[in-house]
Amino acid sequence: MKKGHIIAMIIIAVGIIALFNAFGDMTRYSTFKESEANPNQSVKVVGVLAKGKPVVYNPEEDPNLFSFHMQDEDGAERKVVMNAAKPTDFNKSEKIVLTGKMVGENFVASDMLLKCPSKYKDEEIFVRSEI
Amino acid sequence: MEGIEYLNEHLWVGKLGHLFVITNFVAALFAIISYYFAEKTENSEEASTWKKMGRTAFLAHGISVFSIIGLIFYLMVNKYYEYAYAFNHVSDDLSMSYILSAFWEGQEGSFLLWMFWHVVLGIVILSKNRGKWENGVMMFLSLIQMVLASFLLGMYIGETKIGINPFILLRDTMNIPLFAQADYLTKITGSGLNPLLQNYWMTIHPPTLFLGFASVTIPFCYAAAALWIKEYKDWLKPILPWALFSGTILGTGILMGGAWAYEALSFGGYWAWDPVENMSLVPWIILMAGVHMNVVAKATGHSIKSTFIFYLLSFILVFYSTFLTRSGVLGDTSVHAFTELGLEWHLVLGLLLFIGISVYLFLKNNKDIPVPEKEESLYSKEFWMFIGSLVFLISVMLISMTTSIPVYNKIVDGFSWMMGADYSNLHRAAPGDAIAHHNKYQMWVALFIGILSGMTQFMRYKEKNFENWKKKFWTHSAIASGLSVLLTIGTAQIVNMFAWQYYVLIFGCWYAVVSNLDYIISTVRTNLKMVGSAFAHMGFGIMIIGSVVTGLNQHHISTNTFAQKGIIEGFSEEDYSRNILLIKNKPMYMKGYEVTYESDTITGLYRTFTVNYKKRDMMNNGKVVEEFNLYPNIIYEKTFQKVAASNPSTKHYISKDIFTHVASLPRAETDPEYAKSQEDSLGYKNYSVIVGDTFQTANYEGKVLELNMNPSHVDYIPMEGDFPIGVKMQLKDKKKNVSYDIEPVAVIRGAKILRFPEYLPESGLKAKLTTEIFDEAFAREDQIDYKEFTIEKGESFKYGNTEISFNGFGVNPSHPSYKAEAEDKAFNAILDFTYEGEKYTGKPIYFIRKGIPYNIKDEIKELGFHFKIGNVNAQAQNITVLVSKTPPRVEKITVQIAEDVPSSQYIVLEAIVFPGINLFWLGSILMLLGIFVAMWRRIFS
This model of the complex carries an ipTM of 0.73
Contact residues, B window 614-643, toward A, CB-based 8 Å cutoff: 634, 638, 642-643
For chain A, say whether B176 makes contact (Cβ under 8 Å). Answer: yes
Contacts of B640 in chain A (CB under 8 A): none
Q: How many Å apart are CA B741 and CA B760, to the nearest integer?
A: 10
Residues of chain B above pLDDT 90, percent:
42
Q: How many Å apart are CA B558 and CA A107, to the nearest integer?
A: 26
Helix, strand, coil content of chain B in percent (nearest 5):
50, 25, 30
Q: How many Å apart are CA B622 and CA A118, to the nearest integer?
A: 53
pLDDT for the residue numbered A57: 81
Q: CA nearest B374 in A: which residue? A: A2
Neighbours of B888 (CB within 10 A): 11
DSSP for B422-458?
--GGG--B--S-HHHHHHHHHHHHHHHHHHHHHHGGG
Q: How many Å apart are CA B210 and CA B103, to the nearest integer?
A: 14
Closest Cα in chain A, distance from residue B289 (Å): 15
Closest Cα in chain B, distance from residue A37 (Å): 16
For chain B, say whether A20 makes contact (Cβ under 8 Å). Answer: no
- A43-49/A29-30 β-pairing: parallel
CA B724, B725, B726 angle in degrees (round to 5)?
A: 130
For chain A, say whether B918 makes contact (Cβ under 8 Å). Answer: no
Provide CATH code, domain A28-115: 2.40.50.140
What length does chain B have? 941
- B850: Cβ contacts below 8 Å, ≥ 6 apart: B823
Inter-chain residue contact A60 with B427, CB threshold 8 Å:
no
In a domain, B830, yes or no: yes
Among candidate residues B332, B349, B375, the one where a domain is terminated: B375
Q: CA nearest A1 in B: which residue? A: B375
Amino acid at B446: A
User: Which residues span the domain enclosing B577?
Assistant: 573-670+906-919
Q: How many Å apart are CA B532 and CA B244, to the nearest integer?
A: 11
Among B189, B569, B903, the residue with its CB nearest the CB of A103 is B569
Each residue of B88-124: pLDDT tens digit? 899 888 888 899 999 998 889 999 999 999 999 999 9
Q: How many Å apart are CA B523 and CA B364, to the nearest integer?
A: 43
- B649-652/B633-636 β-pairing: unpaired
Contact residues, A window 70-89, toward B, CB-based 8 Å cutoff: 81, 83-86, 88-89
Whether residues B254 and B295 fall in one domain? yes
Secondary structure letter of residue A71 according to DSSP: E
C-alpha separations of B465 from A52, B295, B459, B872 in Å: 80, 21, 11, 116
Contacts of A43 in chain B (CB under 8 A): 429
Each residue of B777-788: pLDDT tens digit? 776 777 778 888
**Are B872 and B806 within 8 A, CB to CB?**
no
Among A81, A89, A123, the residue with its CB nearest the CB of B174 is A123
Inter-chain residue contact A100 with B340, CB threshold 8 Å:
no
- B752-756/B745-749 β-pairing: antiparallel
pLDDT for the residue numbered B247: 97
In a domain, B675, yes or no: no
Number of helical H runs and strand E runs in chain A: 2, 7
DSSP for B68-114?
HHHHHHHHHHTT-TTBHHHHHH--TT--GGGHHHHHHHSHHHHHHHH
The DSSP element (H or E) to which B690 belongs, if any, is strand B685-690
In a domain, B539, yes or no: no
Number of helical H runs and strand E runs in chain B: 23, 34
What is the mean pLDDT of the segment spanning A18-41?
83
Among candidate residues B730, B753, B777, the one where a domain is terminated: B777
Among A26, A83, A113, the residue with its CB nearest the CB of B431 is A26
Helix, strand or coil, per DSSP, at residue B359: helix
**Would you place residue B360 in the very low, low, confident or very high pLDDT band (cuts 50, 70, 90)?**
very high
Whether residues B819 and B843 fall in one domain? yes
pLDDT for the residue numbered B313: 97
Neighbours of B54 (CB within 10 A): 26
Whether residues B766 and B789 fall in one domain? no
Whether residues B592 and B733 fall in one domain? no
**Interface test mutation site (partner B, options A25, A41, A55, A65, max chain B beta carbons within 10 A):** A25
Helix, strand or coil, per DSSP, at residue B872: strand
Q: What's the total number of domains in chain B? A: 5
**Would you place residue B903 in the very low, low, confident or very high pLDDT band (cuts 50, 70, 90)?**
low
Contacts of A46 in chain B (CB under 8 A): 332
Whether residues B216 and B338 fall in one domain? yes
The whole-chain average pLDDT of chain B stands at 86
Q: How many Å apart are CA B855 and CA B835, to the nearest integer?
A: 25
CA B345, B350, B353 angle in degrees (round to 5)?
A: 125
Whether residues B278 and B167 fall in one domain? no
pLDDT tops 50 at residue B15 = yes
- B802-811/B825-835 β-pairing: antiparallel
Whether residues B623 and B701 fall in one domain? no
Q: How many Å apart are CA B931 and CA B916, to the nearest integer?
A: 23
- B633-636/A95-103 β-pairing: unpaired
Q: CA nearest A101 in B: which residue? A: B570
**Interface test mutation site (partner A, options B278, B333, B428, B638, max chain A beta carbons within 10 A):** B428
Each residue of B526-572: pLDDT tens digit? 676 678 999 999 999 999 999 999 988 888 888 765 544 433 333 34
In a domain, B63, yes or no: yes
pLDDT tops 90 at residue B793 = no
Whether residues B32 and B115 fall in one domain? yes
For chain B, say whether A124 makes contact (Cβ under 8 Å). Answer: yes
Whether residues B112 and B173 fall in one domain? yes
What is the mean pLDDT of the segment spanning B144-149?
96
Whether residues B755 and B727 fall in one domain? yes
Whether residues B189 and B218 fall in one domain? no
Closest CA to B652 of B259, B911, B919, B917: B917
For chain A, say whether B775 makes contact (Cβ under 8 Å). Answer: no
Each residue of B196-215: pLDDT tens digit? 777 788 899 999 999 999 99
Closest CA to B351 of B325, B319, B396: B319
In a domain, B470, yes or no: no
For chain A, say whether B430 makes contact (Cβ under 8 Å). Answer: yes
